[in-house]
Chain A
Amino acid sequence: MKDVSLTIEPGDFVAVIGNNGAGKSTLLNTIAGTLPADAGQLTLAGHDVTRKSVAYRAKWLSRVFQDPKLGTAGELSVSQNLTLAQRHTGSMSLRRYRQASQDATYRELLKSLNMGLEDRLTTQVKYLSGGQRQALSLLMATLSQPDLLLLDEHTAALDPQTSRQVMALTQTIVETHQLTTMMITHKMSDALAYGNRLVMVQDGQIKLDVRGAAKANLQQDKLMALFAE
């Protein structure tokens, strides 16, 4: 990537598209901290995090991975995974993590996913389906209401129907909590249908950045034409 300058305003829902190898994953990984930036500066909610670790950045951002297995800990139960997503409790704390009052809250949250997870609090996550794991991963990422939510092609590994279900769920959660979101997708229809802003990455640079009405009026064939250039 070179000469990339991108400012995401609070409340933005940015859809990022681009060809394979265009640099959209690099962009996302640089923001998340899994790839260090060679040059330049990265600020999150007013804090310079250019040289900070993934764990440090987790104060402000959450991420849903493309692979449902990456976003959750398979050996741990559903409720243990949800506890891990509660950032404010502190990961080094010597307090007991399991409280009975919490289970009721978790059950309520899981019910809203409509995936039948509310009765499976103690099930190990490795026994859930890919769709269920991804929905759980989405719930975990939004549990602490991050300043920035990163979605890394999070429906790409799912079958078409589950993919639609998870996408609808994403829309609901993002709208309810007014989350600032950046979503990478290779589905042009999703990029057009969701979000208030569209960014197109090509050859490591931002080729197109439209928002609001201009984005709403964008047509699929026009976008296709831009891809071909």
Chain B
Amino acid sequence: MLITSIGQGLLWAPLVIGVFLTFRILDIPDLTTEGSFPLGAAVTVSAMLSGQSAVVASLLGFLAGCVAGWVTGILDTKLHMPSLLAGILTMTGLYSINMHVMGKSNVPLLTQKVLTNYLPATWSSDLQTIVVGLVVTGVVIALLIWLFKTRLGLSLMATGDNPAMSAANGIYTDRMVILGYMVSNGCIALSGALIAQSNGYADIGMGIGTIVIGLASVLVGEIFLHGRQMWVRLSGMVVGAIIYRFLLTVAMGLGFPVDDLKILSAIILVVVICLPILRTKVKTRQQLKRYLKQIGADEHESTTSSLKRQASPEGLLSRDGK
């Protein structure tokens, strides 16, 4: 069960990394995800059905995602739309595009060679999935680590952190935001391409709920692996993707029907957002109790409760004071 989760998690990892790029680096919750994920799947499957190799088709899927990200970026920066609305518009528009690309709502692969077929057939399907996932996710992470070591990557991080300061230092922030959207949605579409090949079909509805899956995985990953260095943060995203898949597998093992997985995803997201807030609250209360005990002021219960209310806990969603 765990092995299957690792394989599936690695295929979902590019999606989580993509969501991480917009959500954590650019500080934007990008709903384009819900459209670019099936777009990657649709483009890849269609390309394979028309004779392209799995590698070329997957790259085409990635590029299609970049174009979707570019559209959202233009809506956000050049047309000054709120980023949430920009994402919703692209996502909605992509539904029609995806239908046109696929021609019908579900397109199965026939005898086409998918990425895992490049590996020895003697390997188990779990092992094949893990190797393909490791290679693709590894390449994505390596390229991103390189990007964030360049001046361009630094400008990208600065833009997400403090746009006013970035512009004052000569960074064209619009271009950075557009670039961020493109790379992010490229990764998300690539994940869609991998999942479609793993499932053996592309489906118009496969994007539903992907933003929740992505956000939940980002937050889960950050609970397990957190640091400032980019390779730690990106590895955390892979860990998040795998743990998330594992949680879903466990839930299905407990007898949850497939239709209930979406609400389960939403609940997991709520829990991982609330957990750190609760933890901070409990910690503050304990520290306060210990401190009051030290100075021998146990009897002032009233001050404790008023102080407790003042301590504002910070959740994972909020960023620390800049």
Contacts and interface: CB of A to CB of B under 8 A. Distances in A.
**Residue of B157, B168, B171 ringed by the most chain A CB atoms within 10 A:** B168
Given A74-B161, A97-B149, A84 B320 contact: no
Contacts of A70: 162, 164-165
A69 B173 CA distance: 18
B322 interface: yes
A72 B168 CA distance: 10
Contact of A55 (B151, B154, B170): B170
Interface residues of B, number: 27
> Interface residues of A toward B: which range?
35 or more
Interface string B142-160: 0000000111111101100
B104 to A, nearest CB: 42
A58 interface: yes
Contacts of B161: 73-76
Given A70-B162, A76-B158, A93 B168 contact: no
Contacts of A62: 168
Nearest to A54: B167
B24 to A, nearest CB: 10
A84 B169 contact: yes
A89 B155 CA distance: 11
Contacts of B322: 69, 73-75, 126
B304 to A, nearest CB: 29
Interface string B44-66: 00000000000000000000000
B150 A97 contact: yes
A98 B157 contact: no
A85 B155 CA distance: 11
A30 interface: no
A83 B170 CA distance: 12
B320 A94 contact: no
Interface string B166-178: 1111111101000
B80 interface: no
Interface in A61-120: 62-63, 65, 69-76, 80, 83-85, 87, 89-98
Nearest to B321: A126
A70 B172 CA distance: 17
B168 A74 contact: no
A58 B151 contact: no
A83 B164 CA distance: 16
A55 B167 contact: yes
A125 to B, nearest CB: 8
B300 interface: no
B170 A87 contact: yes
A96 B228 CA distance: 18
Contacts of B167: 53-55, 58
B320 to A, nearest CB: 6
A140 B150 contact: no
A94 B149 CA distance: 9
Of A54, A62, A70, A95, most B-chain CB atoms within 10 Å? A54
A55 B173 contact: yes
Q: Determine which residue in B150, B167, B321 has the highest number of CB atoms from chain A within 10 A of its CB, and name it.
A: B167
A29 B168 CA distance: 11
A63 B161 CA distance: 18
Contacts of B173: 55
A95 B168 contact: no
Given A84-B169, A126-B321, A89 B162 contact: no
Given A74-B322, A80-B154, A95-B150, A87 B164 contact: no
Contacts of B165: 65, 70-73, 84
A59 interface: yes
A26 interface: no
Nearest to B176: A91
B154 to A, nearest CB: 5
A59 B170 CA distance: 7
Nearest to B154: A97
B224 to A, nearest CB: 21
A140 B228 CA distance: 23
Given A58-B168, A73-B158, A76-B158, A91 B320 contact: no
A139 interface: no
B154 A84 contact: yes
Contacts of B164: 34, 65, 70
Nearest to A143: B169
Interface string A25-49: 0000000101000000000000000
Of listed B149, B153, B154, residue having the most chain A CB within 10 A: B154
